[in-house]
Amino acid sequence: MKKHLLAFAVAAVAAGSAFAQAGDTLAKIKSSGSITLGVRESSGLGYTLGNGKYVGFHTEMAENVVSDLQKQLGLAKLDIKYQPVTSQNRVPLVQNGTVDLECGSTTNNQSRQKDAAFAFTTYVEEVRIAVKANSGITGIKDLNGKTLVTTTGTTSVQTLRKNKRADGLTFKEVMGKDHADSFLMLESGRADAFVMDGSILAANISKSKAPADYKVVGEVLSVEPIACMLRKDDAAFKKAVDDSIVRQIKDGSLEKLYDKWFMQPIPPNNVKVGLPLSAATKDAWANPNDKPMEAYEVK
């Protein structure tokens, strides 16, 4: 009888500990000596070089967060397990504990806030229009009767249709299977304009055969705050991540990373993206916050 009671007590303590750690990411990290970082294989903010190597502005920023967590927890070593995520599985993998921190290119919006928490905004994305430099297109007003391409699974052209400056315009819409395919349609003349996130447009232009033949033009169609995602209701972990982001902003680390990944030649082709720091991102850094995109106004 006593053995049964003892076994029950041990099991209860173990279950309680597991339950506690499920909602206590810092305790989980400290006890395991590792953190699982959600990363992207192909994004303007993070990508893979192959063989398990992940790089980019948001990936390296997240590695700085991990370094700060290691110091806070007093760990001699903290291993990073890189977990590639997609647009479809990123939220579930954070919710079920597979991923502790996802730093790809996820927009913080009110819908996702029902399932996950977001750290302070580290990049503000702007949906823009890319065209051939000699096209004569300078903005939305010149798109009437043109063929526009965007990538399957994105909402960029719908964003354009909602823009009040697009009232009365008619245009044909075609879809690329991925961003590279969409840019190829612009490059080959099958589309007159490519509507997409500014960082993606700039990255594709920089990787093209003749970057000077293309340019990003016109109005900002949508403003979306990009932030690292983590499990809900873990205030201590969110504070630790936010504190690291503020530290990186204040000591200039984040701006140096931005310059490295957007204004200097980057692997694998050793070309510049050439996308200067936007006023919206500067403002987010000057006033750290976790506001969703619904709080942003397109001017």
Question: What pLDDT digit, counting tens, does each position of 103-128 carry?
Answer: 998 889 999 999 999 999 999 998 89
7 falls in which pLDDT band (50, 70, 90)? very low
Query: Are residues 31 and 111 located together in one domain of the fold?
Result: yes
Of all residues in the chain, the percent with pLDDT exceeding 70 is 91
Question: What pLDDT digit, counting tens, does each position of 193-217 carry?
Answer: 999 888 889 888 887 889 889 999 9
Residue 279 forms part of a structural domain: yes
Query: Are residues 208 and 236 located together in one domain of the fold?
Result: no
Q: Which two tokens stand for residue 57?
A: 């502005």
Q: What is the pTM of this model?
A: 0.81
Q: Which two tokens stand for residue 69?
A: 């967590």
**Cβ contacts of residue 118 below 8 Å, gap of 6+?**
106, 108, 112, 227, 228, 229, 230, 290, 292
Check residue 151 and give its pLDDT.
85
Q: At what angle do helices 235-250 and 57-73 cross, to 10 degrees?
A: 120
The CATH number that applies at residue 74 is 3.40.190.10
Mean pLDDT of 35-64: 93
Mean pLDDT of 6-35: 66
Query: Are residues 208 and 66 located together in one domain of the fold?
Result: no
Number of domains within the chain = 2
Q: Which two tokens stand for residue 237?
A: 């972990």
Query: Are residues 29 and 118 located together in one domain of the fold?
Result: yes
Residue 19 forms part of a structural domain: no
Check residue 225 and give its pLDDT.
94
6 falls in which pLDDT band (50, 70, 90)? very low
pLDDT of 38 strictly over 90: yes
Query: Are residues 193 and 282 located together in one domain of the fold?
Result: no
* Residue numbers of the domain that contains 186: 126-222
189 falls in which pLDDT band (50, 70, 90)? very high
9 falls in which pLDDT band (50, 70, 90)? very low
Mean pLDDT of 36-40: 96
pLDDT of 96 strictly over 60: yes
Query: Are residues 242 and 166 located together in one domain of the fold?
Result: no
Check residue 22 and give its pLDDT.
54
Mean pLDDT of 30-49: 92
Check residue 299 and give its pLDDT.
58
Query: Are residues 153 and 40 located together in one domain of the fold?
Result: no
- Show which of 192, 222, 252 is a domain's final residue: 222
- Show which of 222, 238, 266 is a domain's final residue: 222
Query: Are residues 32 and 118 located together in one domain of the fold?
Result: yes
- Which of 12-26, 46-60, 142-156 has the weakest average pLDDT? 12-26
Q: Which has more pLDDT, 278 or 231?
A: 231
- Show which of 170, 199, 222 is a domain's final residue: 222
Question: What pLDDT digit, counting tens, does each position of 129-170 carry?
Answer: 999 999 999 999 999 999 999 988 676 777 888 887 888 899
Of all residues in the chain, the percent with pLDDT exceeding 90 is 63
